Amino acid sequence: MTDVLASGIDRAELDPAVRPQDDLYRHVNGQWIARTPIPEDKARYGSFLVLAEEAEKAVREIIEQAQNAQEGTLEKKVGDLYASFMDAERIEALGAAPLAPLLAEVDAVTDADALLATVGRLERRGVPGFVQLFVDNDPGDPERYLVFVEQGGLGLPDEAYYREEKHAETLAAYRAHVERMLALAGLDDAAARAERVVALETAIAAHHWDTVRCRDAQATYNLTTFDDWAARAAGVDLATWRDGYGIPAETLAEVVLRQPDVTDGIAAELTGRDLDEWRDWLRYAIVRSMAPYLPSAFVDESFAFFGRTLTGAPELRARWKRGVALVERAMGEAVGATYVERHFKPTAKAAMDDLVANLVEAYRQSIETLEWMTPATRERALDKLQKFTPKIGYPDRWRDYSSLEIDASDLLANVQAAGEFEFQRELKKIGSPIDRDEWFIKPPLS
């Protein structure tokens, strides 16, 4: 008979070779770790990833069946997106041709203003730019949304890779990777272009904050107007970038600069460097961001560096898994609605809602009788508990994907359309009441 504690812990799973007071993690998990290999397509593994893999299989079935759905339905849109990714034969036949319109936009850049506008236009379609934008609650006023401005412009994970000696081999490998990617895109003199790209990124990295400072909640909360932000960017017309991005002026009227010094640095590099360097930097940003959706030569080269070199994952994930991931990123709640219908019945949700309601009530009763709490503390604790919003299983209101256009024969257009859709959805939050029912995790993983 299995020796199971009242807590539900199976004693047989505990590692007797490790004392809990020496290493509790190894004592509890050591035997599972010893008998569980890390899959070849992963750099790490654990019980949550095991559950995610099971959900992934169920989602695959939903998506594959959606390819046969009726034209004009949401299900068919899901199926068409997946089909565009899985049509490897067509993708290989097209080669680097889908990149041509994007690269042509860079070729047309003749001055700094044109560069700023082009960077903005490409950013809204998923190409990384000078900075990263996201929308979130204002920490100083949680009842409103604001746009946050995060440092960007790098191809490597953070500034340390360009600065620290321990990363020198990785930086050299990155330069070689950039050269190969640009050559695959059909650009001449790829070696010289790669040198310029890495040199420019190294200069940008010198203005970045390190990861420790970026975790400082107070240092990264810098509320400012767009006009004051633009004034920091001496010699650079941020309004040109904003208008190219297609962001209404009122949406950026007030922003949070997470690393304000970076604006000064980017402006200095924009005004002090040759335009050709910036054009090559933007060309590589296009190729890097679109590589997962191009022929296998691009995919394999991208994985060889970002997967194998950076994370240690020895094997590229199966194509169907990457296709499922794309659909979940772009239309996660559309897939989630079907997943919930099949795997999480309303009765299960109702039971969990009751359970959580009982827990909240138990907390309320406990707080009301705690002797060590002062009246003021008790009042604040009860107020916080009252504001708790349980989210069980799936949202009460599903996301509307009617404005997202999908073409089963054009993968890159679909990827850009999905980026545009998400861009518009996020911007619409500015000026709207806080949506406390919004979900940030897909139903299959909740």
Amino acid 236 reads: V
Residue 21 one-letter amino acid: Q
Q: Which helix (H) or strand (E) holds 223?
A: strand 223-225
Residue 141: what pLDDT? 94
Q: Where are the domains of the chain?
A: 96-293, 346-386
pLDDT digits (tens), the chain, 446 positions: 456 556 667 788 888 888 988 899 889 888 888 888 887 777 777 766 777 777 788 889 999 999 999 999 999 999 999 999 999 999 999 999 999 999 999 999 999 999 999 999 999 999 999 999 999 999 999 999 999 999 999 999 999 999 999 999 999 999 999 999 999 999 999 999 999 999 999 999 999 999 999 999 999 999 999 999 999 998 899 999 999 999 999 999 999 999 998 888 999 999 989 999 999 999 999 999 999 999 999 999 999 999 999 988 889 999 999 999 999 999 999 998 888 888 888 888 889 889 999 999 999 999 999 989 999 999 999 999 998 888 888 888 899 999 999 999 999 999 999 999 999 999 999 999 999 888 887 777 65
pTM: 0.86
| CA–CA separation, 69 and 169 (whole Å) | 50
Helix, strand, or coil (residue 436): coil
The region that residue 9 occupies, defined by phi over 0 for left and psi between -120 and 50 for alpha, beta otherwise, is: beta
DSSP lists the bridge partners of residue 146 as 136
User: What are the two backbone dihedrals, phi and then psi, of residue 127, each rounded to the nearest 5 degrees?
Assistant: -90, 130
Instruction: Indicate the burial class of 405 (C-beta count within 10 angstroms; 0-12, 13-18, 19 or more).
Output: middle
pLDDT of residue 5: 59
Gap between the Cα atoms of 215 and 227, Å rounded:
26
Q: What are phi and psi of 142, to 5 degrees?
A: -65, -5
Structure tokens at 218: 């107070």
CATH for 96-293? 1.10.1380.10
Cβ-Cβ contacts under 8 Å for 286 (sequence gap 6 or more) = 99, 102, 103, 106, 122, 127
Helix (H, G, I), strand (E, B), or coil: what is residue 162?
helix
The secondary structure of 35-96 as a DSSP string is H-PPPTT-S---HHHHHHHHHHHHHHHHHHHHTTSPTTSHHHHHHHHHHHHH-HHHHHHHTT
Per-residue pLDDT at 445:
66
Cβ atoms of residues 62 and 335 within 8 Å: yes
CB 382 within 8 A of CB 368: yes
Question: Could you identify the residue written with the tokens 């009763």?
Answer: 365
β-pair partners for 148: 134, 256
Place of tokens 């599972």: 32
Q: Which of 311, 390, 349, 224 is nearest to 40 (CA)?
A: 311
